[in-house]
A and B are shown apart, each in its own frame.
Chain A
Amino acid sequence: METLYAITTGVLTACGLYLTLRGRTFPVVVGLTLTSYAVNLFLFSMGGLTTDGATIVHGDGNYADPLPQALVLTAIVIGFAMTAFVVILAMRARSEAGNDHVDGKKEDRE
């Protein structure tokens, strides 16, 4: 499970990074979203991955660390708000500048 988890996080981060570095606002927004997914997965794994454990402390000692779950919940909420904001911002930038380049330039169109 660890390997699969690590590969998923890595692929998400790589895709997110690549898209964030693009020149148009839409890929950038998608890239930021993918990065935040990757970060959430990463944060979730930081208490160690537990299979078949109780969600909180239970008598038998086999339990998942609850703190990363709380952190991820907070991070998801914040990330969601930020995505909503950046989508609106990208739309306004598109309507003000007349194109969807992050620098607002026209001549870079290929």
Chain B
Amino acid sequence: MMQHLIVLPVIVPLVAGILLLYQRQGLIRYKRTVSIIATALTLAVAIGLVNVATQGEIVYYALGDWQPPFGIVLVLDRLSALMLLVTALLAVGAVVYACAGDDEKGSNFHGLFQWQLLGINGAFLTGDLFNLFVFFEVLLLASYALLLHGGGKARIQASVHYVVLNLAGSSLFLIAVGILYGATGTLNMADMAQRLATLPAERQGLVTAGALMLLVVFGLKAAIMPLYFWLPRAYAAAPAPVAALFAIMTKVGIYAILRVYTLLFSDSAGALSALEQPWVWWLALVTLAVAGIGVIAARDLRLLVAYLVLISVGTLLAGVGIRTPEAISALLYYLIHTTLITGGLFLLADMIGQQRGKAGTRIVKGRPMVQGGGLALLFFIGSIAVIGMPPLSGAIGKALVLNAAEGTQRLWLWPLLLLASLASLIALSRAGSTMFWRSHRGSLSGSVLPRRQWLGVIWLLSTAPLLVALAGPISAYTQATAEQLTNPQRLIDTLLPDAEEAL
């Protein structure tokens, strides 16, 4: 049983999704039960996998027992275990929130939600480049349908852009994979890394083109500077639990950049090593600057949170651009924090919008809210965390990232990151004071919110103090992860033990 644990994050949502296909609407109690049990089970599996990964060994699962480099493998190292755990934690919050009533606004919510989880988990586990494409498509197709959940003009408009852009991105992904396969003759990432070390000089141009095209695709998913324009509209238009789950989607792109480039273009790749670094670094800085402006300019709370996601993307990619083990460790800590907190803020923004009635999430004066006190408290906690003010987790995350920059990198990163944080401080305090304090006189607006919605938000936002309390063990884990990532030879040796004899 233990050896099959790795494949469970893919199997559990798959089976649950199939079960949930039965009847498009109705049977809501049965569907909610299945969905929550499946998500909780995925969480339990993720915790088990983190336990396995903590022992420091890399484990792989050969699907159909076809051994690498020929078969498709699922690889479990510290990074993928960590990402699975973050996804599962986020999914539990989102699914509990959705059970308060959002799931009844359209058909097949829970089934699609589980399949989205299947795609995300698969993308984190796979060790094969083409399989990564397949899992990307699974998660994208589920996300297209989830984005449309509930319908409405804004959602459909945002979806058209999102779908067309991602279809173009998928085409580019296939071209890039094709080029890399043509140049190296393999799709297994560990095998490809090994072959790149002995690549003939005349093929280097081909590999560079393929690798940089791949960066465009991952950049589109991660919403890096010139490719982010779809994000604010899509995230602001998505139904709240879906927007919360989408908080992990940009991180899938960042994970893919981290995984592919640290493995394929490590020091052993010779002239090709770290070929993505200047692109990622400078574009991350531009992303930070643009996102800071966007946060200030946003006139809607959901749009504001979408730009906060963009700031986190900029920060994370800056860490990827620095490329030292310290930076990777710092960005992984920040990644846990930012995924869960921005997810929670999307849910919270939706709750505030529900209580304000006609004013919705627009940042304008409205009538006082029935449960204004509780919402304001949660908004305050979430804001402190996301801005990066002590004593909550954002402060530690940002400080770690700032500290990881060296030499002239500090000159660029420090002012930009701190100004972006200042921008979010200004924007969030303006939004909070307008919505909670500058209200019209008059009767209270809104009705009491369902308990499940509170539970979902509190589940996600409570990670802010928890991440501080457990900062020691978590940063020890991320440091070990960074160390594992910067030594890709160990992964290659695990997957292809007899490669040296073959050479």
Contact B156 A46 (CB under 8 A): no
Our count of residue pairs bridging A and B at CB distance below 8 angstroms stands at 83
Q: How far is the CA of A20 from the CA of B141 in the complex (A)?
A: 19
Q: How far is the CA of A74 from the CA of B170 in the complex (A)?
A: 13
Contact B179 A46 (CB under 8 A): yes
Q: How far is the CA of A104 from the CA of B137 in the complex (A)?
A: 26
Contact B130 A20 (CB under 8 A): no
12 interchain pairs, CB-CB under 8 A = A32-B167, A43-B174, A67-B181, A68-B178, A68-B181, A74-B134, A78-B137, A81-B141, A82-B137, A82-B167, A89-B159, A96-B156
Contact B167 A102 (CB under 8 A): no
Q: Fill in one digit per residue for A77-93: 1 if any B CB lies within 8 Å of its CB, else 0.
A: 01001100110011011
Which of B156, B170, B178 has the largest number of chain A CB atoms within 10 A? B178
Q: Fill in one digit per residue for B143-176: 1 if any A CB lies within 8 Å of its CB, else 0.
A: 0100010001100110111011001101100110
Contact B168 A35 (CB under 8 A): yes
Is A26's beta carbon under 8 Å from chain B? no
Q: How far is the CA of A104 from the CA of B154 in the complex (A)?
A: 10
Contact A46 B181 (CB under 8 A): yes
Residues of chain B with a CB closer than 8 A to A28's CB: 164
Residues of chain A with a CB closer than 8 A to B141's CB: 81-82, 85
Which of B160, B161, B182, B187 has the largest number of chain A CB atoms within 10 A? B160
Given contacts A67-B181, A74-B134, A78-B137, contact A89 B160 (CB under 8 A): yes
Residue of A nearest to B152 (CB): A96
Residue of B nearest to A75 (CB): B174
- Residue of A47, A85, A96 near B153 (CB, 8 A) is A96
Is A42's beta carbon under 8 Å from chain B? yes
- Residue of B130, B160, B168, B175 near A42 (CB, 8 A) is B175
Is A14's beta carbon under 8 Å from chain B? no
Contact A93 B160 (CB under 8 A): yes
Q: Which 6 interchain pairs have the tightest Cβ spacing?
A: A46-B182, A46-B178, A43-B178, A39-B174, A39-B171, A104-B157
- Residue of A43, A67, A102 near B164 (CB, 8 A) is A102
Within 8 A of A (CB), among B129-143: 130, 134, 137, 141
> At the interface, is chain A mostly helix, strand, loop or mixed?
helix
Residues of chain B with a CB closer than 8 A to A20's CB: 164, 168
Contact A104 B153 (CB under 8 A): yes
A interface, CB within 8 angstroms of B = 20, 25, 28, 32, 35-36, 38-39, 42-43, 46-48, 67-68, 71, 74-75, 78, 81-82, 85-86, 89-90, 92-93, 96-97, 102-104
Residue of A nearest to B70 (CB): A67
Contact B168 A25 (CB under 8 A): no
A6–chain B nearest beta-carbon distance, Å: 13
Q: How far is the CA of A104 from the CA of B134 in the complex (A)?
A: 31
B402–chain A nearest beta-carbon distance, Å: 39
Residues of chain A with a CB closer than 8 A to B148's CB: 89, 92
Residues of chain B with a CB closer than 8 A to A97's CB: 153, 156-157
Question: Can you name 5 extra interface pairs (CB under 8 A) apart from A32-B164, A68-B181?
Answer: A82-B170, A89-B156, A96-B157, A102-B160, A104-B157
Residues of chain B with a CB closer than 8 A to A42's CB: 174-175, 178
A71–chain B nearest beta-carbon distance, Å: 6
Contact B182 A39 (CB under 8 A): no
Contact B164 A86 (CB under 8 A): yes
Residues of chain B with a CB closer than 8 A to A35's CB: 168, 171
- Residue of A25, A67, A81 near B187 (CB, 8 A) is A67
Residues of chain A with a CB closer than 8 A to B144's CB: 85, 89
Contact A93 B182 (CB under 8 A): no
Contact A90 B160 (CB under 8 A): yes
Residues of chain B with a CB closer than 8 A to A74's CB: 130, 134
Given contacts A32-B167, A67-B181, contact A102 B134 (CB under 8 A): no
